[in-house]
Amino acid sequence: MFISSPDNITFNRFGGGGIMDLLAVLPRRLDAVLVVPGGPTMIQREEDRDLLPAALRDEWPVIVARTGAEIDRAIRAS
């Protein structure tokens, strides 16, 4: 984990169901989105889609993913 600014946390080389479940908690608690470089942007609620900057909405898939399993599937499918 790398915290580059108060608005940015980066995770590298992570995996496993338990870690993904913990990762799913962060967006809920921080009211944040998960951005996978070169892959999907994951939001918690469909209504969050309109709040994203155009670059995130238009260039990559936007997926509702609330659980660790949903996040894992979205990453593997990208």
pTM: 0.78
C-alpha angle with apex 69: 65 to 71, nearest 5 degrees? 40
Distance separating alpha carbons of residues 18 and 43, to the nearest angstrom: 20
Q: CA 6, 45, 29, 34: dihedral to nearest 10 degrees?
A: -40
pLDDT in tens, 47-76: 999 999 998 888 889 999 999 999 999 988
Joined tokens for residue 47: 């209504």
